[in-house]
């Protein structure tokens, strides 16, 4: 159960920032005893992988704070973040391998399930983030982008740390996330109806 909570937290973190949970796991596995990566995931602790993740994180942190550029970045990250979520969930939940050398064994042993679950969690968080960002940019004339991005990065770091060190607390996050969805989605539909009504009124004039 705790492994599932850890994987879920890391996948959700990847939905906000693809590289933070992977980089954090790599660093902790390489330099501490807090993370013991499964055999098929030892590559995350490789020095070159850590360096590449750090460079990609730096690019992501800058790009996500610039209006318009953040939208382009979100489009690109639609593939990257769910992929990172699958990797993070697999590594965090002690899935044994990500190398599909024997497809029959891979699927029959259900090794694919943690990866798919992580992809879906990260994709859900990413889509929510991508839907909220244009609203924030529009209502703040773009000034909200760096603030929102910084908050998302901080949340990603906190989620990753909590998922690894205190996975039980992820239950509280999951409950809060579901509650936020129930609050956010109706408001988004209402805003869309208001925009459509405003456009229709403009055409009549």
Would you state the pLDDT for residue 96?
47
Buried/exposed 42-51: b ≥16 CB within 10 Å, e otherwise? eebbeeebbe
Would you state the pLDDT for residue 200?
65
Q: Where are the domains of the chain?
A: 2-204
Would you state the pLDDT for residue 100?
40
Would you state the pLDDT for residue 172?
74
Would you state the pLDDT for residue 98?
45
Would you state the pLDDT for residue 110?
60
Sign (positive or negative) of CA dihedral 104, 106, 112, 114: positive
Return d(Cα 153, Cα 151) in angstroms, integer.
5
Residue 168 near residue 2 (C-beta atoms within 8 A): yes
Q: How many CA within 13 A on the CB side of residue 96?
A: 8
- What are the φ and ψ backbone dihedral angles of 65, each rounded to 5 degrees? -105, 5
Would you state the pLDDT for residue 138?
81
Return d(Cα 146, Cα 124) in angstroms, integer.
22
pTM for the whole structure: 0.76
pLDDT digit string (tens) for the chain, length 205 residues: 667 788 888 898 999 999 999 999 999 989 988 887 777 778 888 999 999 999 999 999 999 988 888 888 888 899 999 999 888 887 776 554 444 444 455 455 566 677 888 899 899 889 888 888 888 888 887 788 889 899 999 999 998 988 888 777 777 777 776 777 677 767 767 777 777 766 666 655 5
């Amino acid at each position: 159960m705790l492994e599932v909570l850890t994987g879920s937290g890391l996948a959700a973190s990847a939905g906000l920032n693809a590289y933070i949970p992977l980089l954090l796991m790599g660093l902790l596995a390489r330099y501490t005893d807090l993370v013991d990566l499964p055999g098929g995931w030892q590559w995350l602790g490789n020095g070159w992988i850590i360096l590449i993740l750090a460079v990609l994180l730096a690019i992501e942190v800058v790009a996500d704070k610039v209006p318009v550029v953040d939208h382009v970045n979100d489009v690109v990250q639609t593939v990257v973040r769910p992929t990172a979520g699958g990797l993070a969930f697999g590594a965090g939940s002690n899935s044994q391998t990500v190398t599909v050398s024997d497809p029959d064994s891979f699927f029959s042993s259900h090794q694919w399930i943690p990866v798919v679950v992580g992809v879906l969690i990260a994709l859900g968080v990413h889509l929510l983030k991508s839907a909220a960002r244009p609203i924030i940019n529009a209502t703040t004339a773009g000034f909200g982008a760096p603030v929102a991005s910084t908050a998302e990065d901080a949340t990603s770091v906190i989620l990753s740390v909590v998922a690894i060190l205190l996975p039980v607390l992820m239950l509280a996050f999951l409950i809060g996330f579901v509650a936020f969805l129930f609050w956010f989605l109706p408001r988004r539909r209402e805003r869309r109806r208001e925009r459509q009504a405003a456009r229709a009124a403009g055409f009549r004039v």
